[in-house]
Structure 1
Amino acid sequence: MKKTITLSALVLAATATVAFAQNAFITIGSGSTTGVYFPVATGMAKMMNDAGGLRANARSTGGSVFNMNGIKSGELDMAIVQNDVAYYAYKGTGIDAFKGKANPNVRSLAVLYPEVLHVIVRKDAGINTIADLKGKRVVTGDLGSGSEQTAAQVLEAYGLSFSDLGQQLRVSPAQGISLMQDKRADALFYTVGVGASAISQIAQTTDVKLIPVSGNQAASLLKKYPFYVRYNIPAKSYKGQGATVPGVAVQATLVTSSTLDTDTVYKAMKAVFSNEKALKTLHPTLAANYADAKAIQGLPAPLHPGAVKFWKEQGLNVK
């Protein structure tokens, strides 16, 4: 009788474990509702829910730095982040929030699309190059954000630092856009997918233009920080943009933690990435840039075992 009870208990425990795995809940960190992260994360959550076996939701957050801290604390299960910020969190370097606090549990799932540095300036501010930002009122992103780090690195390539600005405005992109519209800021750094609604909005309501990051300065930036890639913002991406604007980009990447179990990650990957055509319908930026073959290039941390299993099934050479 004792043996029968023990076996029954084991069966019940195994059944409960399977039920839990089938109903695993995933919270995906995104970013501002005016950016690209949020609609992409929302679409991914819907794909996971529709596939069955998972429950998922997308959460609007402060962006990449917040998301990496959320992954570390367990507040978030997955998140979309800049690949440079994920690298800093994994290594414990680069950004003050991560220095000396490496998170070896960071795991990559897929590279999604380029996140292009948009340097937006008011046409009446007399700014034609990055060098012209000296003495100007410049929105560099939230304190300690990925955008702020990008701004610092680009200014450095042009021989400038934050101390050379007339005023460094450390606010969110949404707040920065309001400052631009109210003529309380001259320029705005914003790292985001091309076509972001926030930039489309300011282009519709304010006389602005995009400033290029190119030439020797761009070359030195790419050499020093290998997570950057060159990216040209196509003409007519925004109202009033008549020509292609040379620039640089990091890459939006879906990440998780090694603490999330392999089966859950595999199911999530299969729900989102099995149908490339469906994935691309989530946002024009994905439609223009995503490809399975690119999804494993430029990863900021090792792939999660669940992702390795999935990508191998897709015929990609991963480990």
Structure 2
Amino acid sequence: MKKSHKIIGTALVLGVSATALAQGSFLTIGSGSTTGVYFPVATGMAKMINDSNAGLRANARSTGGSVFNMNALATGELDMAIVQNDVAFYAYRGTGIQAFEGKANNKVRSLAVLYPEVLHVVARKDAKINSIADLKGKRVVIGDLGSGTEQTARQVLEAYGLSFDDLGQALRVSPAQGITLMQDKRADALFYTVGVGASAITQIAQTVDVRVVPVSGNQASALIKKYPFYVRYNIPGKSYKGVGATVPSVAVQATLVTTTALSDDTVYKAMKAIFSDEKGLRALHPSVSINYSDAKAVKGLPTPLHPGALKFWKEQGQNVR
């Protein structure tokens, strides 16, 4: 009963009648912090579904991030979600992350890879942090509890011979709270795995003198070898105020996922609403605009494709199975 009330309430906000809701399927798409890239992309996708006249309605929900989203998909709290591809793989296999250990969810299905999620390690210039090794003893925002960023931070620190215990303070807060801590000099650095141009990073750079700390060399090589979901990625110079030069880093992939609980027909209609309009999809955010293509959308998938997505991508001429 509670779920019914929540759905109807959301539908009314969107201007949808309960009658219209009953005639189709309602999809809740999990995203992340409102200051990240997941949220505007998921919100845009929901609008594309709503505007498609395919008998589906959708809304986007701000959440704690990838790990939360995977758990919420397992319980049926979410119908679709944007997550890091490594986190989806760990949830599917029931390994790699404590929250998933022994709880493999083999019902997880991929829909599409959207764009690279780049590790940003942003430090206050006055904290004198020039490398990841310099984070030892510092106050560092490592992401929300249960976020993909937290997992990435743990693995990157490990590549440099550090753990959360080596930090002066490991601050598990949202990106919005992390901004405040950086501005108030209560945090020295911040990890955030997010598309380039995210408003959280832009906001910090506009209000604090910062540097983006590189992840490169042997440490990056070791990280990629141990965790093959990572790829090298250069953050272009001038992406943020005060950061003039290109900064080498690593990235995972933002991926749209669901479960077998959604029917093939529902998934096919949602895929058609979103991915048939490549121009509209690219307009959702610069991270998508710069990086998305149909060919890339079916590469690096962390789990099997949903049958509804498989049908769609075959129709688009993609070599999938």
Task: Give TM-score, length-normalised by structure 2.
Answer: 0.92
Instruction: Please name the residue that 1:277 is paired with.
Output: 279
Contiguous gaps of at least 5 residues in structure 2 = 1-19
Alignment of 1:25-36 (within 5 A): 25-36=26-37
Query: Distance in 1 between the 2:297 and 2:140 partners?
Result: 34
Residue of structure 2 equivalent to 1:77: 79
- SS of 1:175's partner is helix
User: Does structure 2 retain, via aligned residues, the 8 Å contact 1:21–1:263?
Assistant: no
One-letter amino acid matched to 1:89: A
How far off is 1:146 after superposition? Answer: 1.5
Q: 1:313 aligns to what?
A: 315
Query: Which residue of 285, 289, 292 maps to 1:290?
Result: 292
Aligned pair 1:171/2:145, yes or no?
Answer: no
Establish whether residue 47 from structure 1 lines up as the match of residue 52 from structure 2.
no
Structure 1 residue aligned with 2:247: 245
Q: What is the match of residue 190 of structure 1?
A: 192
Separation in 2, partners of 1:26, 1:170: 29
- SS of the aligned residue for 1:90 comes to helix
* Cα-to-partner distance string for 1:15-62 (whole Å, 9 max, x where unaligned): xxxx98961111111111111011101110111111112111111111
Matched, 1:23 2:30: no
1:96/1:144 contact within 8 Å kept: no
Could you say what secondary structure the match of 1:97 adopts?
Answer: helix
Is this contact kept in 2: 1:195–1:285, CA < 8 A? yes
* Cα RMSD after superposing both structures: 1.2
Contact 2:142 2:192 in 1 (8 A): yes
Unaligned runs of 5+ residues in structure 1 are: 1-18
Deviation at 1:144, TM superposition (A): 3.1
2:179 is aligned with what amino acid?
Answer: I
Distance 1:202 1:174 in 2: 10
Deviations 1:217-276 (A, max 9, x none): 101100100011111101111111101100000110000001100000000000000121
User: Which residue number corresponds to residue 37 of structure 1?
Assistant: 38
- CA distance in 1 between partners of 2:144 and 2:42 (Å): 21
Separation in structure 1 between the aligned mates of residue 163 and residue 77 of structure 2, nearest angstrom: 34
Q: What displacement does 1:143 show?
A: 2.3
SS in 2 for 1:219: helix
Q: Classify the secondary structure of the residue corresponding to 2:51.
A: helix
**Secondary structure at the counterpart of residue 165 of structure 2:** helix
Q: Alpha-carbon deviation of 1:83?
A: 0.7
Residue 7 of structure 2 aligns with which residue? none
User: Aligned AA for 2:24?
Assistant: N
Residue 243 of structure 1 aligns to a residue whose secondary structure is: coil
In the TM superposition, residue 105 of structure 1 has moved relative to its aligned partner by 0.4
Alignment of structure 1 residues 119-268 onto 2, 5 Å: 119-268=121-270
- Deviations, residues 96-154 of structure 1 (Å, cap 9, x unaligned): 11111110100000000000000000000011001111111111112232111111110
Offset of 1:161 from its aligned partner?
1.2
CA-to-aligned-CA distance 1:57-92 (integer Å, 9 cap, x gap): 111111111111111111111000111111111111
For the pair shown, the structure with the greater C-alpha radius of gyration is 1
Identical columns (%): 80
Q: Does the residue aligned with 2:99 lie in a helix, a strand or coil?
A: coil
Point out 4+ residue stretches in structure 1 off by more than 3 angstroms: 19-22
SS in 1 for 2:252: strand
Aligned match of 2:12:
none
What is the identity, as a one-letter code, of the residue corresponding to 2:78?
Answer: L
Q: How many residues align?
A: 301
Q: Is the 8 A contact 2:66 2:146 kept in 1?
A: no
Instruction: For residue 168 of structure 1, report the CA deviation from its aligned partner.
Output: 1.2
What is the rounded CA distance, in whole Å, between the counterparts of 1:25 and 1:73 in structure 2? Answer: 16
